[in-house]
A and B are shown apart, each in its own frame.
Chain A
Amino acid sequence: MSDDDGYRKLFVAESRENHENVVRNLLVLEEGSDDEAIAEIFRSAHTLKGMSASMGFHEMEHLCHSMEDVFDLIRNGHTAVEQDLIDVLLAGTDVIEEMLDDIEGGGDCSSISSSHLVADLEKYASETTEESAEVSDASESCESAPDSFKLTITVDKTCAMKDIRALLVLQNLESLGTIVSSTPTKEDLEDGTVPFSGEMEVEFVSDAGMDAVRSAALGTEIASVCFAGEVQPEPDEPDTPAESDTVSVKSSGLSPAATVTKVERTEKSEKVREVKNLRVDITRLDQMMNLVEDLVINGGRLKQIAGMYKIKEMDESLSMVSRSVSDLQNLMMNIRMIPLNQIFNRFPRVVRDVAHHDGKEVEFTMLGGDTELDRSVMDGLSDPLLHLIRNGVNHGLETPDEREASGKPRKGTLTLSAWREQGNVIIELSEDGKGINRNQILKKAIERGLVQEEGAATLTDQEVIDFLFQPGFSTAEEITDISGRGVGLDVVKSTIESLNGSIKVQTELGKGSRFTLTLPPTMAIVDVMMVRINDRRCAIPINGVVEVAKANLDNIHKVGTSEVIMLRDEVLQIFRLNEMFGERPVSEIMVVVLYKGNKCCIPVDVVEGQQEVVVKPVSSVIGNCRGVGGITIPGDGAVVPVLDVNTMV
């Protein structure tokens, strides 16, 4: 990893945190003035500016700078927080996010233009530049007493804050003697009211001697120190005043917002700040995890060897080692866990935008954002959740007028909550909207030929709702650019399933709907059934296994090219997996697996048992291998394929 890469990663990671902080606090600010939120925003914007400048991302720096200017005005009470100002600022944060994406991808964000936004922001920070008197040039001849010096000090023209350099020089000189006068005066420099050209004249009394005075005056970024009588170098061209005091006063309070977003107030910035974080690249954690797994595997081998020689002391120390190793493994799993807030934090903004767009009033509450999930699960979760939330506001909740007409409060509620339950993580999104209309779904389902008209009435509510998860199924009358974009509920469902999770919907007409996602906290460790086929071991993920049955081989029939078996009045297709394990006589032990409602069975020689294993991806050398989801290495060091029921069946 090159230095630059390292900086870039750190930059992106920290910038994202600051960016999120700005967005979160802007939304707080939208609810009403909040000094703490303003201070947080200002600090984050300032940090973003400083960091982007350091990396040379000028486009981003400019944008952050003009946002910071506006935040400064807000902070000082020079401008009021209005709806349209918040909109512009939020638009700014969107562009920053875009820039960060670009930077993360290796770009320098110069292709992303922010000039229109900068112009908008500058409108808010109307400038009142103060052009004032030039520095008078005093150049009378010097009537130096033995200890009196007349100095002309020139600050380097590349210096960023010339007046402060000059102040430092004065301060240094003061430690050697007495300053009789200076042009500009110390007070002028401190106030910053008079622009400083970079040249300062000082009359100074000291008994330290010329050399000492010269070295005291010659600090960093001081181009020259001339004593009266010496030849002066070419003066630098005066610098334009770098910063102008900007004042703009806007009256009018916050216009009634179409939405008010409620974020859990209790866990505000303090909590985030107090956690002592160590930033570690996820790939390093994976490497560590791999090493720990190797330890587990080799520990198992050692145990076997020790068992062969029956050395008691060795057995004892080995069991101590394996305990440490399993603690280490658990610890590593825990380190990979991150709080859901990482993705939840974006949602208040989404709700706000969608509600704005649709003219709806939404009270959005998030609970349980500190529930933790493995990184690998978290990565896949963001888009499906986003879709559900958009759907909830877009299709679920009614407009304020409609709500009032049906006797509900004008403001709809949308609640996103998460908690742990029996080793799983449950995420629930509920709203008190109009609910899902069974007849509407049935009508669409019949239109699309998913069900026959006569059979429709006999379907259970759950079966009807399941139609929603069919590809291309949408009950919305028109496709909006908000929730009609890209993924549908079918994609949501398949994404959740690919994370080994499930999704459930409950709905009541007129009262609202509730989507419940059940997810495993981690994907790396999977419960599998170890089986032996043709004397080779393989693992089948337990969540795909329905049952293990002993079949009567007489019940096997050929249907077309495939074989089926009658098992308790069900006809199941048999997968012999000959390509994988070689030709062999079919055994009577059948593992019945389920995928997307289709059952089928795999004949196996022996079921060895159930165990938790770490599944590793198939190496890139082998490439994609249909039917194999990954490999695992149990204690004896053998490499065992883990079957991927989804692609097999």
Chain B
Amino acid sequence: MIVDDTMFMRTLLKNILFSGGHDIVGEAENGEEAIALYAKLKPDLVTMDVVMPKLNGIEALKSIKGTNPEAKVIMCTAVGQEQMVKLAIKTGAKGYIVKPFQAPKVLEEVKNVLSD
């Protein structure tokens, strides 16, 4: 499941994940949607953008982790957001990927987090 507020980033990420043989079961545009969709789909993995309208990625992560401690969430981040990501890791994010996305790195991280 992909969470990002721009269709551009979602498309980019989706294509990378498809190329790695992963299925995308759902997409959400903000934290609120992500929480609702997670409860419905229970995906194997979530990629979560940090900066989003309504509810940001950290809050969404907190909420998802609160009800599903086993949830596997990878944060999508950019240079300059180190502190946010650290907070996310503390909250229970399993990994992170840095924009601009590089397909091999994204797939490696996804593989590692899934095999954990």
Which residues does A use to contact B, with CB under 8 Å? 3, 6-7, 10-11, 14, 42-43, 46-47, 49-51, 53-56, 65, 68-69, 160-161, 163-164, 167-168, 171-172, 189-190, 192, 219-221, 242-243, 269, 273, 279
- A192 neighbours in B (Cβ, 8 Å): 82-83, 86
**B78 in contact with A46 (CB, 8 Å):** yes
- State the Cβ distance, A45 to closest chain B Cβ, in Å: 10
Could you list some 13 contacts between A and B, CB below 8 A?
Answer: A6-B11, A43-B52, A47-B5, A53-B78, A53-B100, A54-B8, A55-B100, A161-B96, A164-B89, A168-B89, A172-B116, A190-B90, A220-B105
Q: Mark B23-56, 1 if CB is under 8 A from A, else 0.
A: 0000000000000000000000000000111100
Complex: how many Å from CA A65 to CA B80?
A: 9
Complex: how many Å from CA A266 to CA B7?
A: 26
Chain B residues 67-85 with CB under 8 Å of chain A are 77-80, 82-83, 85
- B53 neighbours in A (Cβ, 8 Å): 43, 269, 273
**B79 in contact with A243 (CB, 8 Å):** yes
Which residues does B use to contact A, with CB under 8 Å? 5-9, 11-12, 15, 51-54, 77-80, 82-83, 85-86, 89-90, 94-96, 98-101, 105, 108-109, 112, 116
**B101 in contact with A164 (CB, 8 Å):** no
- A50 neighbours in B (Cβ, 8 Å): 6, 9, 78, 99-100
- A65 neighbours in B (Cβ, 8 Å): 80
Q: Which listed residue, B7, B96, B100, B112, touches A14 by the CB 8 Å rule?
A: B7
Complex: how many Å from CA A55 to CA B101?
A: 10
Instruction: Apart from A242-B82, A279-B7, list 14 A-B contacts with CB within 8 A.
Output: A53-B100, A54-B9, A56-B100, A65-B80, A161-B79, A164-B82, A167-B86, A167-B89, A168-B94, A168-B95, A168-B96, A190-B90, A192-B86, A220-B105
Q: Which listed residue, A14, A53, A219, A220, touches B6 by the CB 8 Å rule?
A: A14
- B85 neighbours in A (Cβ, 8 Å): 161, 164
- B79 neighbours in A (Cβ, 8 Å): 160-161, 242-243
- State the Cβ distance, B93 to closest chain A Cβ, in Å: 9
Known contacts A54-B12, A161-B98, A220-B112; decide if A49 and B82 are in contact (CB<8 Å): no
- A54 neighbours in B (Cβ, 8 Å): 8-9, 12, 99-101
**B108 in contact with A220 (CB, 8 Å):** yes
Complex: how many Å from CA A53 to CA B77?
A: 12
- State the Cβ distance, B100 to closest chain A Cβ, in Å: 4
- B54 neighbours in A (Cβ, 8 Å): 273
- B51 neighbours in A (Cβ, 8 Å): 42-43, 46-47
- State the Cβ distance, B56 to closest chain A Cβ, in Å: 9
| CB-based nearest B residue for A189 | B86
- A167 neighbours in B (Cβ, 8 Å): 86, 89
**B105 in contact with A7 (CB, 8 Å):** no
Complex: how many Å from CA A161 to CA B50?
A: 15
| CB-based nearest B residue for A48 | B6
- State the Cβ distance, B72 to closest chain A Cβ, in Å: 13
**B15 in contact with A3 (CB, 8 Å):** yes
**A161 in contact with B8 (CB, 8 Å):** no
Complex: how many Å from CA A69 to CA B86?
A: 20
**B82 in contact with A220 (CB, 8 Å):** no
What are the 7 closest A-B residue pairs judged by CB atoms, nearest first?
A160-B98, A54-B100, A53-B100, A220-B109, A50-B99, A10-B8, A220-B112
| CB-based nearest A residue for B88 | A164
**A161 in contact with B6 (CB, 8 Å):** no
Complex: how many Å from CA A220 to CA B99?
A: 15
- State the Cβ distance, B34 to closest chain A Cβ, in Å: 15
Complex: how many Å from CA A418 to CA B51?
A: 35
**B96 in contact with A51 (CB, 8 Å):** no
| CB-based nearest A residue for B74 | A220
Known contacts A43-B51, A161-B85, A273-B53; decide if A53 and B99 are in contact (CB<8 Å): yes
Known contacts A7-B11, A53-B99, A171-B89; decide if A243 and B6 are in contact (CB<8 Å): no
| CB-based nearest A residue for B83 | A192
Complex: how many Å from CA A243 to CA B105?
A: 22
- B11 neighbours in A (Cβ, 8 Å): 6-7, 10
